[in-house]
Amino acid sequence: MPEQPIKIPVQLSRLPLHDHGTWQTQVATPAQALPPVNGELIPQGLSIKPLLEAELDALLDIEQTTYSNPWTRGNFTDALKHGNWCDLLWQDQTLLGYFVAMKGHQEVHLLNLTVHKDCRSQGLGLLLLNVLLSKSLQEKAQWIWLEVRVSNVRAIAVYERFGFRAVGERKNYYPLAPGVRENAMIMSLRL
Ligand SMILES: CC(C)(COP(=O)(O)OP(=O)(O)OC[C@H]1O[C@@H](n2cnc3c(N)ncnc32)[C@H](O)[C@@H]1OP(=O)(O)O)[C@@H](O)C(=O)NCCC(=O)NCCS
């Protein structure tokens, strides 16, 4: 874990995020979507790669410093075993963030989206969502679904900015404190 905040040496403002006003609405069609995952989508200096077992320590470091109820090593290895997408965003040897998503029938379920605490609010969460969207479109998915704690206003704002909309709640979905649980907001993005 670096002691200094991580500086991203790329112009994230050049990401095509702002060009896609349609994402602010309910629907983004494949025709309006980003190009496939390639050099155009990932800014120079950053890379996205599938999780390797050897990288689990770096990932768990971020996971454990982010969540009160972090995923365990076993949760991540199970996710890998079951063929879920576990994609990591790197700047050289430094892990900046990751997402885990499960493919279903014409839909994708986002299970985990995390950005290193020292490099949030620089567009990296949106970049990871861009990659997820692009992969989902390649799989011809119709929807992306996710759950988020109702108290996680920051994440909800990022998802809404990307185009997700609240479609319901799951009661007492997340542990909050001993004997206390918190509702999840269910959000979806129609592709
Ligand atoms: C939620 C989370 C993944 C969002 O990641 P992030 O990298 O902080 O989010 P982004 O920077 O992409 O979010 C957009 C913000 O960046 C700004 N931004 C910076 N560069 C940008 C760009 N090129 N394009 C668009 N927005 C940009 C936006 O204005 C917005 O600003 P704000 O912070 O004032 O709202 C991250 O905060 C996190 O890991 N939180 C803890 C874990 C968590 O809650 N995960 C979700 C569980 S469901």
pLDDT digits over 18-76, tens only? 333 333 333 333 333 444 444 457 888 899 999 999 999 999 999 999 999 999 999 99
Is residue 40 situated within a structural domain? Answer: yes
Q: Where are the alpha helices (DSSP H) in the chain?
A: 56-66, 73-81, 124-138, 153-162
- Whether 20 is covered by a domain: the verdict is no
Q: Is 130 contained in some domain?
A: yes
Distance in angstroms (rounded) separating the CA atoms of residues 175 and 96: 26
Q: Cα separation of 64 and 70, whole Å?
A: 5
For residues 96 and 6, the answer to whether their CB atoms sit within 8 Å is yes
Q: What SS3 string covers 44-69?
A: CCCEEEECCHHHHHHHHHHHHHHCCC
Is 48 within the bounds of a domain? Answer: yes
Determine the distance separating the centroid of ligand 1 and the alpha carbon of 126, expressed in angstroms: 6
Q: What is the pLDDT of residues 128-172, one digit of tens each?
A: 999 999 999 999 999 999 999 999 999 999 999 999 999 999 999
pLDDT exceeds 70 at position 9: no
Burial class (CB in 10 A: 0-12, 13-18, 19+), 176: middle
Ligand 1 centre to CA of 160 (Å) is 11
Question: Could you identify the atom of ligand 1 that is nearest to the CA of residue 12?
Answer: 23
- Quote the domain boundaries for residue 168: 32-190
Pocket test for ligand 1, best of 17, 34, 158 (most atoms within 8 A of CB): 158
Q: Please say whether the beta carbons of 124 and 90 come within 8 A.
A: no
SS3 content of the chain, % helix, strand, coil (to 5): 35, 30, 35
Q: How many domains does the chain have?
A: 1
- Region 176-184: mean pLDDT is 92
Report if residue 23 sits inside a domain. Answer: no
C-alpha 177/C-alpha 184 separation (Å) is 15
Residue 28 confidence (pLDDT) = 37
122 Cα–ligand 1 center, Å? 6
Taking the CA of residue 98 as centre, how many other CA atoms within 13 Å lie in the half-sphere pointing to its CB? 25
Q: The whole model's pTM is what?
A: 0.84
1 belongs to a structural domain: no
27 within some domain:
no
- 97 domain residue, yes or no: yes
Q: What's the pLDDT at 27?
A: 33
Residue bearing the CA closest to ligand 1, atom 48:
148
* Mean pLDDT for all residues in the chain: 83
Mean pLDDT (whole number) for 172-182: 92
**Which H/E stretch holds residue 85?**
strand 85-91
φ/ψ of 27, rounded to 5, equals: -120, 130
| Closest ligand 1 atom number to CA of residue 124 | 7
Return the residue whose CA atom lies nearest to atom 18 of ligand 1: 123
What pLDDT, on the 0 to 100 scale, is given for residue 31? 35
Whichever domain contains 121, its CATH number is: 3.40.630.30
